Chains A and B, each alone.
Chain A
Amino acid sequence: MSTSPPPFSGPPRDTARLELSGITKRYPSVVANDGIHLKVAPGEIHAVLGENGAGKSTLMKIIYGAVQADAGQIQWNGREVVIANPAEARRLGIGMVFQHFSLFETLTVVENIALALDEPFDLKGLAERVSEVSQRYGLPLDPQRLVHSLSVGERQRVEIVRCLLQAPQLLILDEPTSVLTPPAVQKLFETLRRLSSEGVSILYISHKLHEIQSLCHSATVMRGGKVTGTATPSQETPASLARMMIGRELPVCAVPAFAGEATPVLSVRGLSHTPDDPFGTALKDIALEVRRGEILGIAGISGNGQAELLAALSGETTGPASTVSLAGTPVGHLDAGRRRKQGLAFVPEERLGRGAVPPMSLADNATLSAHGQGLVKHGLLRPKAAWAFAKTCIERFDVRCGGPGAAARSLSGGNLQKFIVGREIMQKPIAMVVAQPTWGVDVGAAAFLRQTLIDLSREGVAILVISEELEELFEICDRIAVLAEGRLSDAVPKAQTNAEKIGMQMSGLFADAHATDREPDHAAA
């Protein structure tokens, strides 16, 4: 992963493929882009680096014509253009692969591609072109397969092939690796390098520093809607890039040892479950054990049973009593409210709409799960107690907001996550399940959250973390297991494994025969 990109060998760089100057976009509450300058040469792989909320996505949408800038110019191959809409962008030769795919599950690959073309087509001829392009760029894809049967990685290939069919001169990829296993990431990079050598410029949006270092020729770093620097990634260190990105040193977590007795608290045995959702993933004979004072991490790409396992742990789906137990008591048959009373806390992946009710105040949202903490008496709400609870939570967990009366949806992702984690911790759980603790959270809040979880575990709480971010798991966990295709590997102490081993397991744990070329089936619905 630390190999540097091949030397840049595109056509002469005097005429930029794309040049932005002074691009500004204001939204009612925030200036998303403030006088952005950006220059991409033909064949250049250019990283746009920044935290969540830095304005990367807005900038890409402006280039793709999905959003109109308030001010500034766009030069395309030396000529000033106005990109009024995405169709216009595609006519110019700009393709974009979005972070969230827009595919119809019940249609085939070729039908999905046909829908997005701006020109007339015949399905048979198109299918041949799809096969041809996908083979040429090392993106194996069967045009006749139905999209719902494709893995997330394969779906991304559909999106990329869809762009490539239009022979783009510039390809924009928004956080493309967040849904890929490490081997699939390497394959994607090979494809992108080949495109680059053919003269296609690539704008690569990411916050993963090592990826940018191994792939990109140059980088523009954004922070708070402004460009804070440009760099040649191969000549930088992750620390220096991070400094540009967040404006200070990358925070590091302190991981002390646990002194107490590591007795098992949360254990799962023989958990199998077939979900009602036909596109869900069945859980197959899951077993795990989380002990006092440790954080157990579960790695894997979403859609491999994560949602189903979380629901089975939280009590949103119930099963035989013996499958889940908490401090020795079987709780598999109890619903979420009853498990919480037994000392299980839960932080879900979706903060808005699940972990918190979006239009309700933080005080009201305290009552959502902490009603057992004296916020309800004789069936009546105690608004003052809820207010005080929320206030304590806000102060103790450094939640930046307008106070306990602020609506949950007015908070940034990181601050809402701090509130939810804080609310769960204040219920003094004996075990806590946390899904994607720092997903979409800025670096500062992510570091705070990670440290909070470590500290909580060292106080004797058993913590289970499910995350797609391998680095995060290696930073905070004591042991790591992998969930792939609904099966869970044995948990291994972090020191006895590494990212490559885990990555191999993620891409098909028990299917060694074709492990190299296949990601697990079924994406999250």
Chain B
Amino acid sequence: MPLLEARPTPSTSMRLLAPLIAIGLTLAVGSLLFLSLGKSPVEAFGVFFIQPLSSGNGWSELMVKAGPLILIAQGLAIGFRARIYNIGAEGQLIMGALAGGGVAIAFDGVDAWWVLPLMVIAGAIGGALWGAIPALLRTRFNAQETLTTLMLAYVATFALSYMVNGPWRDPEGMNFPQSILFGDPALFTPWFEGMRVNASLLIAAFASLAFWFFTSRSFLAYQLTVGGLAPAAARYAGFSADRTVWLSLVLSGLTAGLAGVGEVAGPVGQLNLNISPGYGFAAIIVAYLGRLNAIGIVLAGLLMALLYLGGEAAQVALQLPAAITGLFQGMLLFFLLGADVFVDYRLKPRPKPAYA
């Protein structure tokens, strides 16, 4: 006997509650985890969620991490609404970083205002082009973008590895796989002395505003949503399915590419193998946790950034392994997907004895 039955209409309150339930369950299971490791959950959560925010630098780091997560998630959400699943934003981020970093390396030593804007533009184009490949494969050969975007993410990783081990390796870097350190004209200037938060955050903020307007008001976003909810209705209305694919993948590639430049021209300051701690993948969770809504994504991005910081703090203060961050991210997504089932379904009441 199935436990669930379909709701007559999807529950709006459940849609908003699901992220909160997922967070609650993650905390509950996290407590059990800490207990089994012999740590006090109260202390552990203090380290995880309070300590990172107890200093100005902590808030700066929160913004440094939230920026790329939010930026990428905004782009992904456009595609997810249309059921175009780009899960290779990590690859588009790397290609954006490579394109932007390439500009920085090419113009190393040039002290001009246009170096940084050029890097940003190159990064956006690099990411967008990397997103355009799966779009072409999908529209020309009907290759599923779920597979192609992920595979191209690995290709991008190898491309980065090749470049920093080969052509772009720093000649004075003692054979480490990394490029030269970028000069000041190729870097975002930190806003505060000794902190890393910088103007690249404005890109994420502007993107959030733009995507909020785009998704709530534009006819194009309406067409994307219809294509996701009811593909046959989109065909009936004469909306182009190919355009949906192109727009979704190129836009999400573009935002991921921008995030990539933000990293290499910001906290990282060069090309190396650690330019992203998995932002492209974590942004998928951010997009869903934020209900594919521009404002929700901002909140979800902040939470996910806090998880990154908390994970780092837990490594130092509690001697927990680095995998703790991934574990919490995974639990969050797992419980969110579980809770989302109850948007469209509800528990079936126990069958009453029939024919009483």
Contacts and interface: CB of A to CB of B under 8 A. Distances in A.
B355 A353 contact: no
B218 A354 contact: no
A73 B9 contact: no
A354 B232 contact: yes
B216 to A, nearest CB: 8
A354 B8 contact: no
A524 interface: no
Most buried by A among B9, B236, B237, B238: B236
B140 interface: no
Contact of A336 (B10, B238, B351, B356): B238
A368 B226 contact: yes
Nearest to B213: A380
A409 interface: yes
A279 B10 CA distance: 34
A455 B239 CA distance: 31
A360 interface: yes
B233 A336 contact: no
A278 to B, nearest CB: 16
A336 B236 contact: yes
B322 interface: no
Contacts of A346: 236
A73 B355 contact: yes
A381 interface: yes
Contact of A69 (B222, B235, B355): B355
Interface in B209-223: 217-220, 222
Nearest to B356: A71
Contact of B229 (A338, A340, A358, A410): A358
Contacts of A358: 229-230
B8 A29 contact: yes
Contact of A354 (B10, B233, B238, B352): B233
Interface string B156-170: 000000000000000
A460 interface: no
A337 B238 contact: yes
B9 A410 contact: yes
Given A367-B222, A380-B218, A381-B217, A314 B236 contact: yes
Interface residues of B, number: 24
A432 to B, nearest CB: 14
Nearest to B217: A380
Contacts of A29: 8
Contacts of A357: 226, 229-230, 233
A368 B233 contact: yes
Most buried by A among B220, B232, B238: B238
Contact of A369 (B222, B232, B236, B356): B236
B230 A338 contact: no
Contact of A68 (B10, B236, B354): B354
Interface string A324-358: 00000000000111111000001010100111111
Nearest to A29: B8
Nearest to A409: B9
Contacts of A500: none
Nearest to B352: A70
A80 to B, nearest CB: 8
Given A369-B236, A380-B219, A68 B351 contact: yes
B218 to A, nearest CB: 6
Nearest to B226: A357
Nearest to A370: B237
Given A71-B356, A380-B219, A315 B238 contact: yes
A371 interface: yes
Interface in B316-356: 351-352, 354-356
B233 A356 contact: yes
Given A70-B354, A381-B219, A359 B229 contact: yes
Interface string A146-168: 00000000000000000000000
A336 B239 CA distance: 8
Contact of A316 (B217, B235, B352): B235
A348 B219 contact: no
Contacts of A337: 237-239
A82 B233 CA distance: 44
A364 B237 CA distance: 13
Given A69-B354, A410-B9, A353 B238 contact: no
A12 interface: no
B354 A381 contact: no
A69 B236 CA distance: 40
A335 B218 contact: no
Contacts of B229: 357-360
Given A359-B10, A409-B9, A353 B232 contact: yes
Nearest to A311: B235
Contacts of B222: 364, 367, 381
A82 B230 CA distance: 41
Contacts of A72: 355
A256 interface: no
A379 B219 contact: yes
A82 B226 contact: no
B233 A355 contact: yes
Nearest to B10: A359
B232 A350 contact: yes
Contacts of B236: 314, 316, 336, 346, 348, 354-355, 368-369
A364 B216 CA distance: 12
Nearest to B236: A354
A82 B235 contact: no
B145 to A, nearest CB: 20
Interface string B259-285: 000000000000000000000000000
A426 to B, nearest CB: 15
A71 B220 CA distance: 52
A356 B233 CA distance: 6
B310 to A, nearest CB: 36
B220 to A, nearest CB: 7
Contacts of B8: 28-29, 410
B309 to A, nearest CB: 37
A321 to B, nearest CB: 17
A376 B233 contact: no
A216 interface: no
Contacts of A68: 351, 354
Most buried by A among B219, B235, B240, B354: B354
A407 interface: yes
Interface in A248-307: none
13 contacts: A28-B8, A68-B351, A72-B355, A337-B237, A337-B238, A348-B236, A353-B233, A355-B236, A356-B233, A359-B9, A359-B10, A379-B220, A380-B217
Q: Which 8 A-B pairs have the closest CB atoms?
A: A337-B238, A336-B238, A354-B232, A376-B219, A357-B230, A68-B354, A353-B230, A368-B237
Interface of A: 28-29, 68-74, 80, 82, 314-316, 335-340, 346, 348, 350, 353-360, 364, 367-369, 371, 376, 379-381, 407, 409-410
